[in-house]
Amino acid sequence: MTNYREIAWQGLWKNNPGLVQLLGLCPLLAVTATLTNALGLGIATMLVLIGSNVLVSLVRDYVPKEIRIPVFVMIIAALVTAVQLLVNAYAYGLYMSLGIFLPLIVTNCIIIGRAEAFASRNNAFSAAFDGLMMGLGFTLVLAVLGATREILGQGTLFDGADQLLGPWAKALTMQVWQVDTPFLLAMLPPGAFIVMGLLIALKNVIDKKLKERQPEAAVQPSVTRARITKVS
Amino acid sequence: MAFKIASSPHVTRNMHTSTVMQRVILCLLPGLVVQCAFFGWGTLIQVLLAIIVALSCEAAVMKLRNRSIKASLSDNSAMLTAILIGVAIPPLAPWWMIVMGTVFAIVIVKHLYGGLGHNLFNPAMAAYVLLLVSFPVQMTSWIAPSTVALNTPSVIDSLQLIFNVGAHGGMDQFRLGIDGISMATPLDTLKTDLSLGLTTTESLAKSIFDGGTGVGWFWVNLAYLAGGLVLLKLKAIRWHISTGVLVGLFVASSIGFLLSPDMQASPLFHLFSGATMLAAFFIATDPVTAATSPRGRLIFGALIGVLVYIIRTQGGYPDAFAFAVLLANLCAPFIDYYVRPRTYGHSAG
């Protein structure tokens, strides 16, 4: 199965980890108060996902079926530790603001889910591509959620981007609108749940519109018979 | 001769939703009038604003859902929700707060869950909690009652304060204006004083507590109580929930008061302060979000009463009814599951 187009479509839209599989909701809801945090966590998750998919795919023929889950978990844990140390070394501000959710990537169901469902059955290249696309899909949802909540909550975008990208990124921070009083709910977890629900609803609407536009092309010309004898 | 066969229930009351809602709204009026008398025109402006927003939202959602706009507007439920939000929030809160709260109540809490009859939570209280959690400063600065305030804002002043225009224009001046005439509610004052180490008696000696339960608040509560009793008489609500709330609150606060009279307010203070009567008769009794059987309703009401006492004394927010009602809403299906009325002809259980 090396249909890259299908893999991309699955990861980015049809089987999006955030919007459809609803995996990894805990970090999704907890750290998306700002766009910077969302991007940081999304990219970290994506890195782990690509790495774990490649490694799992490489060892898939040597791991006995009975103990595959512990092996996968150890691979993932090692990768998460590496990513955590990297973030700690090169983006300390982000490390502090992501807090516990960075090490908690190890428990994110997307990663073990993709390892089990895709990487352990496919070759390393398509597994890497799947990791990239699933990670990208997750990051996109995080980013949209983070941007919405940041604009609603404090009226800014890319606040604290320098923590993620270095000092030059301070220029990225923009004031979308002036808020006199921060809208606390958007920044608290309930706001994340509400925005998330609205995002899922939006995706369903788009899917429905797409479906409505398609049926003319998709209808199969079936053979019509005057009389159908009962088969069973 | 043809027999007309109808399915049960055979005993029905000829009272439509719109009639019930209308009666509830009418019975709210005395309380509203008294509240305006003590706290100025702000409340009335907030209520009107909320009604306009609620009806527009209701109509817009009904149009989106391809339902009859007229039918849903004439059932008065949106208007009732709007009035409840209007009387619950501080009279001089800025206009965008009540607009945001009302939109949230109607669109998200009510219609996203399926509209009237399907909502899990009381829309007005969910909106109140949204605003209280999001904007704690504005939501806790009540205007001083007219009898102790130095000057009360006129209609024009209230409009200018709420819409933030005219002579008060500019955010800083606006804040200054608010601070000049606003003060904490009696419940809030008592909580602050107790945390500062004063005893209840010392705190209650302040001018805001004239007569024991706070200037104005006592009469507001009394007016809502009167309205609620009329509502009972009209049979628009049943007695179980209101009784449950009041008894629950009374018992819980009596126990607290007997255990440590210095640190706890009297049961009378709890019953006639804050939103007690409004909530007991007009908010908790919402038939959609409450338990359904008589026994279940008693439990539902008592749960609210006890929760209110706990949150008022232990929690960080000044009044507790919104939180208590939402928590009890969550418990309502659970209560209904365990408290089932005995079916005629079957043994209990």
* Residue-wise pLDDT tens digits, A136-179: 999 999 999 888 888 888 877 777 777 666 667 677 777 777 76
Token pair recorded at residue B49: 């604003």
In a domain, A222, yes or no: no
Closest approach of B185 to chain A, Cα-based (Å): 22
Closest approach of A190 to chain B, Cα-based (Å): 10
Of B280, B314, B320, B315, nearest in space to B300 by CA: B280
Compute, in degrees rounded to 10, the torsion defined by CA atoms B301, B303, B304, B309: 130
Q: Percentage of chain B surpassing pLDDT 90?
A: 29
Q: Which residues of B touch A183 (CB under 8 A)?
A: 134-135
Cite the beta strand spans of B140-261 per DSSP E.
142-143, 182-183
Q: Which residues of A touch B137 (CB under 8 A)?
A: 181
In a domain, A88, yes or no: yes
B319-331 tens-digit pLDDT: 788 899 999 999 9
Q: By the CB < 8 Å criterion, does A202 face chain B?
A: no
Rounded to the nearest 5°, which phi and psi values hold at B145? Answer: -60, 150
Count the domains in chain A: 1
Closest approach of B136 to chain A, Cα-based (Å): 9
Domain boundaries, chain B: 16-183, 186-214+233-336
Looking at residues B149-169, what average pLDDT do you find? 63
CA distances from B234 to B18, B32, B222, B229, B231 (A): 14, 19, 18, 9, 5
Closest approach of A126 to chain B, Cα-based (Å): 40
Residue A16 predicted with pLDDT over 80: yes
Say which residue, A132 or B185, is predicted with more confidence.
A132
Looking at residue B190, what is its pLDDT?
Answer: 73
Q: Do A184 and B134 touch (CB under 8 A)?
A: yes
B214 half-sphere exposure, CB direction, 13 A CA radius: 29
Average pLDDT, chain B: 81
Looking at residue B298, what is its pLDDT?
Answer: 93
Sign of CA dihedral A52, A57, A63, A69: positive
Looking at residue B168, what is its pLDDT?
Answer: 43
Q: Do B133 and A180 touch (CB under 8 A)?
A: no
Q: Which residues contact B342 (CB under 8 A, 6 or more apart)?
A: B348
SS3 B170: coil
> For chain A, how many residues are written?
232
Average pLDDT, chain A: 82
Q: Percentage of chain A surpassing pLDDT 70?
A: 87
A75/A27 Cα distance (integer angstroms): 20
Looking at residues A188-209, what average pLDDT do you find? 88
B167-220 tens-digit pLDDT: 444 334 444 444 444 555 677 777 777 776 666 666 666 655 655 556 677 888
In a domain, A64, yes or no: yes
Least confident of A35-49, A198-212, B154-168, B223-237: B154-168
Question: Omega of the bond prior to B9 within 30 degrees of 0, cis?
Answer: yes
A36-61 tens-digit pLDDT: 888 888 888 899 999 999 999 999 88
Token pair recorded at residue B274: 């804050």
Q: Mind giving me the DSSP string for A123-137?
A: -HHHHHHHHHHHHHH
Looking at residues B215-242, what average pLDDT do you find? 87
In a domain, A67, yes or no: yes
Q: A32 pLDDT band (50/70/90 cuts)?
A: confident
Looking at residues B53-64, what average pLDDT do you find? 92
Q: Do B134 and A180 touch (CB under 8 A)?
A: no
Q: B75 pLDDT band (50/70/90 cuts)?
A: confident
Compute, in degrees rounded to 10, the torsion defined by CA atoms B215, B220, B222, B224: -160
Domain range for residue A42? 4-215
CA distances from B48 to A83, B54, B96, B207, B301 (A): 56, 10, 14, 32, 30
Looking at residue A225, what is its pLDDT?
Answer: 61
Question: What end-to-end distance do the CA atoms of chain A give, in Å?
Answer: 36
Number of cross-chain residue pairs from A and B with Cβ atoms under 8 Å apart? 17
Closest approach of B98 to chain A, Cα-based (Å): 14
B290-299 tens-digit pLDDT: 888 889 999 9
How much of chain A is helix, strand and coil, in % rounded to 5?
A: 75, 0, 25
Mutate to test the interface with B, among A181, A200, A202 (most CBs of B within 10 A): A181
Please tell me which residue of chain B has the smallest CA distance to A153: B134
Number of CB atoms found within 10 A of residue B345's CB:
5
**The residue to which tokens 């109540």 are assigned:** B105
Q: B125 pLDDT band (50/70/90 cuts)?
A: very high
Closest approach of B135 to chain A, Cα-based (Å): 7
Q: Which residues of B touch A186 (CB under 8 A)?
A: 134
In a domain, A228, yes or no: no
Q: What is the model's pTM?
A: 0.81
Cα angle A157, A149, A44; round to 5: 75
Residue B22 predicted with pLDDT over 50: yes
B158/B182 Cα distance (integer angstroms): 12
Where on the phi/psi map is residue B309: left (φ > 0), alpha (ψ -120 to 50), or beta? Answer: alpha
Token pair recorded at residue A30: 């907890």
B239/B228 Cα distance (integer angstroms): 10
Looking at residues B128-151, what average pLDDT do you find? 74
Buried b (16+ CB within 10 A) or exposed e, B49-61: bbbebbbebbbeb
B181/B167 Cα distance (integer angstroms): 16
Looking at residues B22-48, what average pLDDT do you find? 88
Q: Do B133 and A188 touch (CB under 8 A)?
A: yes
Token pair recorded at residue B95: 């206009």
Q: Do B134 and A190 touch (CB under 8 A)?
A: no
Q: Do A188 and B135 touch (CB under 8 A)?
A: no
ipTM higher than threshold 0.85? no
Looking at residue B89, what is its pLDDT?
Answer: 87
B89/B9 Cα distance (integer angstroms): 40
Residue ranges of A 54-93 with Cβ closer than 8 A to chain B: none
Of B103, B104, B98, B105, nearest in space to B122 by CA: B105
Of B126, B155, B137, nearest in space to B48 by CA: B155
Cβ–Cβ < 8 Å for B276, B249: yes
Q: Do A185 and B138 touch (CB under 8 A)?
A: no
Looking at residue A40, what is its pLDDT?
Answer: 86
Q: Which residues of B touch A194 (CB under 8 A)?
A: 108
Q: A22 pLDDT band (50/70/90 cuts)?
A: confident
Q: What element of type H or E holds A13?
A: none
Q: Mind giving me the DSSP string for A70-112?
A: HHHHHHHHHHHHHHHHHHHHH-HHHHHHHGGGTGGGGG-HHHH
CA distances from A201 to B56, B106, B302 (A): 22, 18, 37
SS3 B94: coil
Residue ranges of A 154-193 with Cβ closer than 8 A to chain B: 180-181, 183-186, 188, 190
Looking at the partner chain, which of B130, B134, B171 has a beta carbon nearest the beta carbon of A180? Answer: B171
